[in-house]
Amino acid sequence: MYLITAKYFNDAERKRIEYILKQWENKIKIIKPAGITFFVDGEPDEIIKELMSKTGEDKISVFSLDETQIDIKKTRKIIEITFNEEINVVEKFTGFVMAKRKGVLKRETKTPFIKEYSIYTNKGGGEVSVKFSRNQQTNVYITIEAFEPAATYIHDIIKEDLEYFKKGI
């Protein structure tokens, strides 16, 4: 049995976590503990005695835990696409694509010209880095880092939007 903590900072994040738990409850045994759950770093004997004396022996459960390292890596997906338009036109359209996908601009550099976004979709969230360069044409290099299935989903929707734009020019 594992104790998993999933931190959230607002009601929307809490609902996402509860939705995931609901999806998994028929696949694995998930128990949401009633009452208050907390960690004790050190010997718990004295606090356990006090809790039992105030609430009753049948209302206190104690588990010994060891933290487990999670070995799940993010996936990196790349999109490379070239346009015959000026860099400012391509940059504006790319910004539109990110806004359409509810991307939040986190950072921007001018040399090299890179914009970094956080995107959250119904498949999960990820980080998107968009690098622009100009020679004869405008080159766009997009790097997506996310856990699956979000990485593939974000890659596919951004690539589809950019290819649609390229065909329309």
Helical segments of 41-135, H only: 45-55, 87-100
Do both 55 and 17 map to the same domain? yes
pLDDT recorded at residue 169: 58
Residues 97 and 41 in one domain: no
Structural contact between residues 103 and 119, judged by C-beta atoms closer than 8 angstroms: yes
Q: Which helix (H) or strand (E) holds 12?
A: helix 11-24
In sign, the C-alpha dihedral spanning 108, 16, 64, 43 is positive
Q: Look up the CATH number of the domain holding residue 117.
A: 3.30.530.50
Residue 1 placed within a domain: no
| Whether residue 97 is found in the same domain as residue 164 | yes
If asked whether residues 96 and 145 sit together in one domain, one would say yes
Residues 90 and 163 both lie in one domain: yes
Instruction: Tell me which residue range forms the domain holding 20.
Output: 11-59
Return per-residue pLDDT of the chain as tens, 169 residues. Answer: 778 888 898 998 899 899 999 999 899 999 888 888 888 988 999 999 999 999 888 888 888 888 888 888 999 999 999 999 999 999 999 999 999 988 999 999 998 899 999 999 989 999 999 999 988 999 999 999 999 999 999 999 999 999 999 888 5
In this structure, the answer to whether residues 119 and 50 fall within a common structural domain is no
66 found inside a domain: no
Does residue 135 share a domain with residue 89? yes
